[in-house]
Amino acid sequence: MSELFSLRGKTALITGATRGIGLAIAREYGRAGARLAISSESAEDCRRTLSRLAEEGIEAIALPADLACQTQVEALADACLAHFGRLDALVCNAGVAPHLGPLASASDADWELTLTVNLRSALWLSNALLPAMAAQGGGSVVLMASIAGVRGNKGLGLYGLSKAGLAQLARNLAVEWGPANVRVNAISPGVIHTEFARPLTEQPEILQRRLALTPLRRVGRPEEVAALALLLAAPGGAFISGQNLIVDGGTTIGDGN
159 is an active site residue: yes
Tell me which of 84, 124, 159, 196 is the catalytic residue. Answer: 159
pLDDT at 195: 77
pLDDT at 211: 87
Mind listing the pLDDT tens digit for each residue in 11-66? 999 999 999 999 999 999 999 999 999 999 999 999 999 999 999 999 999 999 99
User: In this structure, are residues 169 and 212 in contact, taking their beta carbons and an 8 Å threshold?
Assistant: no
What is the dotted CATH code of the domain comprising 3-192+222-247? 3.40.50.720
257 confidence band (pLDDT: 50, 70, 90): low
Residue type (1 letter), 224: E
Burial of 34 (0-12, 13-18, 19+ CB in 10 A): buried
> Is residue 201's pLDDT more than 90?
no
Name residue 61's beta-bridge partners: 37
pLDDT at 160: 97
> Is residue 121's pLDDT more than 80?
yes
